[in-house]
Structure 1
């Protein structure tokens, strides 16, 4: 390993030790599963907003999205548009009602538990079914983070892919295992700040080195005018179809069903703090997504076509630009932003999956009388097991970050999105409709993803979400109305203020 690699590794090491120290700090502060999984509902506005957005974006913000823009130009921004709209609507429509209702619904600490309590499902099967979907989809989502990490270490240090994969997994597991929700949210807060700074700085410096905005856009136009056309794929120079545009914007639908984001709404200290959090999150996501697209487009001008030689290598565009622009130690700090993006999502996913297995399966069905201490250690064991399975999935070196995220994002949006909205806003929804919504939405999404050609080119979240919503409505109306106890609680949750 040469001196440059050693200096970069030192920068990485400083960052990683800081993250692990946060986990160790919070280890002794978790005495119950409520504190381990939800932090006792004590998050402030800044930590909630930054944590939600950092856990949302994952490694695809600095790898997947810039890679797509490197190939296709600003038309990759359709995803960003959909995500920006989805982020705002999620904070506006879901955050406060979900915080209030989960508190009223027997203080639910997981999304499946909220479904169970909301519909008074004494059998507890709705939480078990939801936990199964969480396990399946989060395995792929977490694997995407580990793939990002492996590509990072492989590109920077020339390490073997599998060694790089294991290093990233060990660090994420360490502080998630130790510190739980508080550690995850506070690490996400610092990681969100780092990501925000780096994602803005890299394209700004690159565009400046190309002569400034006017010269930069002139160079892009000279290279390929379609790179600046939102309606044309710059990689193939073909116009987007209506199905193509709808599929990209439809990413925004996924927000209503993402457990690792929704859990932040449940953990905020007061519903009154949500308005401030929404403003912070909206500004963060608008600027970050725009800058991520500019990284890809400026990188095509800055580095040329060299990354097109190997399929999937376009996702290393940020890495290549950072190593070209900055001195070695500073480059190490900027490359740590990728670790920040990866960890801020992977840790959240591990924690949510562990909570689903522990609370909604183990505690619900296997050991109802388990002690708090037993549940804590089962939770930590689940973090380990889920991470190991995700690592096995990530050993496929041909996986793309965006591809894995796309699959899991649609799965959650289809299975849980319609039910979250109906749970919060439709008084007549009942447990039978809830069962139907999760199962139909999730299965339609899985089926659609395996098909291709014609209408099946439509992103699977659209048919999955629509079919899940219809299933809830039709089955709820065709079966007995919810009891007075359920409807009274629905009527009361909107007035819950703290």
Structure 2
């Protein structure tokens, strides 16, 4: 039996499992609310792990370990920023958003929530936010499809074009069939696989080198700066890495998990699970890259492919240290990370097109069955557009991921955060914050002042715009204030 045969079998079993989850979810999907928010009945465990898996894409097992392997522990600042940002998002936004979206006409999407929260009769908020979601998420989906294609291409030696369809097909299928419940249940399985792989792999690497002390000795001997948290970094670089955490407040696919929880009490329990999962996964991925330095320094004859591409460090360690069957399971975790994020993005785009454009402007009286099938059709449409963008792997799609994260974080982050914290916020303030945040990201990205990641000024200026414009205009009407206060009172109930 060749190395690729057991790996191929484990990949196929995994993909079949995801499709089976889609079929199970299909049987309990009865209306559009079920299809795009799971009927708001997710428990604490599924809410927590689904939120985590939808966030952590292939970069968790490829990008971050590769950066640590190349530059040492200084690259872990981004993990610190993400952990802080995720915790604050769970603490400040998650429970409140769950309550406020239900209080505001049972809003199913962010554009729907913005429209009802601020009584926007012009529907300008809905249109602008929907267009922002479609523009950025289509690029996000394309980057996920490229990552999946690269995994299939490098693992099984097939052409990029065939790998493109192979990597995308299963994700499209279970998202199309089962909707939000399929995505959330699959995310729970995928999150479990990810934490298993990221605890087991670094332990095996450390044992292979001879223990932690021996590993640290090899790493220091190779380059003492590998242990320096400030290696090659100035204040601007550290702030930029920490600033990634601001993006959490504005990511629609993550915020949807909060909206789908069965209550805000569930959100509180889910927060603990999610943050523990996240810390363990990030610690594991850092350890893979960090102790991978020691392993390949001790075994230079096996370092050829990692030397050519540092992002292969997890893949190479899995294939070297484990049996072909176990390596297949571990490598399917990369596919899990890619599929979990891609499925959430496809569904977010489908939900926005169906709820915020089709239903809002074309078919206000559409039946639930019609909306579900339009949602399914939109999954296919968005997927085909993303595949077309991903067809050329040299088109810099992957390079736009950080740009899209910043765009969402700056355009939606301040609006979401302040809308659930401050009753005086107005519709014009929300519009100003969204536009100023997005435009700041675009302009700052172009000029790259001080090397500062564009999400930081975008989030700051967007927040300032919201407050100033809201205070300069007329206060919200009494009914909006009362609805906000009622939602806040419900959130504070034990």
TM bracket, shorter-chain basis:
over 0.9
1:91-122 Cα shifts (integer Å, max 9, x gaps): 11111111111111111111111111100112
Q: Is the 8 A contact 2:216 2:294 kept in 1?
A: no
- Matches of 2:325 and 2:93 in 1, distance apart? 42
For this pair of structures, how many residues does the alignment match? 487
Which residue matches 1:306?
Answer: 304
Equivalent of 1:259, from 247, 252, 265? 252
Which residue matches 1:289?
Answer: 282
Query: 1:400: Cα distance to partner?
Result: 7.6
Q: Is the 8 A contact 2:82 2:242 kept in 1?
A: yes
Q: Is the 8 A contact 2:209 2:295 kept in 1?
A: yes
Q: Give the gaps of 5 or more residues in structure 1.
A: 233-238
C-alpha RMSD over aligned residues: 1.6
Query: 1:405: Cα distance to partner?
Result: 2.9
Instruction: Work out whether 1:496 is the aligned partner of 2:486.
Output: no
Equivalent of 1:343, from 333, 339, 346? 339
- CA 1:263/1:400 → structure 2, altered by over 3 Å: closer, same or farther? same
Q: Is the 8 A contact 1:59 1:401 kept in 2?
A: no
Matches for 1:31-430 after TM superposition, within 5 Å: 31-232=30-231, 239-303=232-296, 304=300, 306-307=304-305, 310=308, 313-398=309-394, 403-430=399-426
1:304-354 Cα shifts (integer Å, max 9, x gaps): 5634654xx222221111111111111111111011111111101111111
Instruction: Work out whether 1:462 is the aligned partner of 2:460.
Output: no
1:214-261 Cα shifts (integer Å, max 9, x gaps): 0001110110111111110xxxxxx30111000000000001001111
SS of the equivalent of 2:143 reads: helix
- Matches of 2:136 and 2:279 in 1, distance apart? 26
Instruction: Work out whether 1:447 is the aligned partner of 2:443.
Output: yes
Which residue matches 2:3?
Answer: 4
1:170-203 Cα shifts (integer Å, max 9, x gaps): 1110000000010000000010000000011111
1:372-408 Cα shifts (integer Å, max 9, x gaps): 2221121111111111222223234247897343122
1:242-284 Cα shifts (integer Å, max 9, x gaps): 1100000000000100111111111111111122111111111
Query: 1:139: Cα distance to partner?
Result: 1.5
- Matches of 2:250 and 2:393 in 1, distance apart? 29
Query: 1:78: Cα distance to partner?
Result: 0.5
1:403-456 Cα shifts (integer Å, max 9, x gaps): 34312211110110000011001111100111111111112212222334x42x
Which residue matches 1:477?
Answer: 471
Q: Is the 8 A contact 1:64 1:401 kept in 2?
A: no
Structure 1 runs, 4 residues or longer, greater than 6 Å off: 399-402
1:464-484 Cα shifts (integer Å, max 9, x gaps): 111211111121122211111
Q: Is the 8 A contact 2:41 2:260 kept in 1?
A: yes
- Matches of 2:87 and 2:397 in 1, distance apart? 24
Give the TM-score taking structure 1 as reference length: 0.95
Q: Give the gaps of 5 or more residues in structure 2.
A: none
Give the TM-score taking structure 2 as reference length: 0.96
